[in-house]
Amino acid sequence: MPTIATLILYLSIMLGTIITMSSHHWLMAWMGLELNTLAVLPIISKTKHPRANEAATKYFLTQAVASCLLLLSCIINAWQTGSWDILQMTNKYASAIMVIALAMKTGTAPLHFWLPEVMHGSSMYTAMLISTWQKMAPMALLYLISSHMQSPIVLMLGILSTTIGGWGGINQTQLRKMLAYSSISNLGWAMVIIPFEPNVFTINILMYILMMIPTFTILAAMATKTLQNLSASWTTSPTGTTLLMVLLLSIAGLPPLTGFLPKLLILNELVTQTLTPIAIVTTMTSLLNLVFYLRAMYMTTLLNSPASATASMKWRWPISKTNSTMFAPTATFSTPALPNLPI
């Protein structure tokens, strides 16, 4: 892709996000989201690979459906209230549809089906763009309508996201898919707190973005895409591997690292709002994230990846037919002789 075209695309992405975050009219916000989406599609598909084209197609279709839902919500709210102001999302049906539309745009469960596949089909830097910058505009809209949200819907989306994000990342060997499920889990933490304390929601999102950017940068610099590649990363880049270990533990929310602070603030606010069961569920599901991050950290400490089940060296010798045939009568005749053996 030519340098000038790439520069124009990145400027369009920045401009679309700025338009959405600074607008007070729903049509201007929608226009910024569309500019952002159309500018990122060539960046996703610039890799000459069928999987990149597939990722761009999935991203386009998902964002198009979400944009249609967003427009439907705006029209319903304007029809009922006569206002296109973002802060006047007072109709409960329009608010529910808007939350679903923005959840689809960010990849919140159960509308997350596109995010792991799109990130897996993109390059490392493009995956970083999708999981960080592309979430800022929808998150800003969620922040603006947080006072008019339907709390049960948002809490359900949050609990589903933390659960699916934890379970989905356990069996992943591709690092981009693993980070995608981690992003889904973090979105769940953000969704459970936004109806009650939007400022903590903002802190959580900003902290996560600040941790994800160096993580993707280190993985791209070391050309590491799978867990198996991590086993050889220590010999090629000890400094990068050490930083990656700390970043992974921080994203998992292990104290006393940076990622623990937003989770602590969220749990404190949930307990204050007498939502202790939801706080317990989100804490338990976050342990699933800790499992696959500890596995990734363990892989960075190895010099070779663990042998698979199909390796040539087996942990036991093949059974000989002769030995197995003689084993049964030998055991039968020797058992009565056991009382006669000296102790």
- pLDDT tens digits, 286-306: 888 888 888 888 777 765 545
* Lowest mean pLDDT, pick from 114-118, 192-196, 245-249: 245-249
pLDDT value of residue 342: 45
pLDDT value of residue 254: 82
> For residue 38, what pLDDT band results from cuts at 50, 70 and 90?
very high
pLDDT higher than 70, residue 310: no
For residue range 117-172, list pLDDT tens digits in order.
999 988 889 999 999 999 999 999 999 998 888 888 999 999 999 999 988 888 88
**Ordered DSSP codes for 36-94:** HHHHHHHHHTTSSSHHHHHHHHHHHHHHHHHHHHHHHHHHHHHHHHS--BGGG---HHH
Six-digit token pair at 17? 């996000």
Total-model pTM = 0.82
CB 289 within 8 A of CB 166: yes
Q: What is the mean pLDDT of the chain?
A: 83
pLDDT value of residue 2: 64
DSSP state at residue 239: H
pLDDT higher than 50, residue 316: no
pLDDT higher than 90, residue 248: no
pLDDT greater at residue 32 or residue 318: 32
Mean pLDDT confidence for 80-101 = 88
pLDDT value of residue 292: 82
CB 26 within 8 A of CB 86: yes
Give the domain ranges of the chain: 3-306
pLDDT value of residue 28: 92
Q: How does 61-70 read in b/e, with b if 16+ C-beta sit within 10 Å?
A: ebbeebbebb
* pLDDT more than 90, % of the chain: 42
Chain center to CA of 49: 23
Bridge partner residues of 226 (DSSP): 174
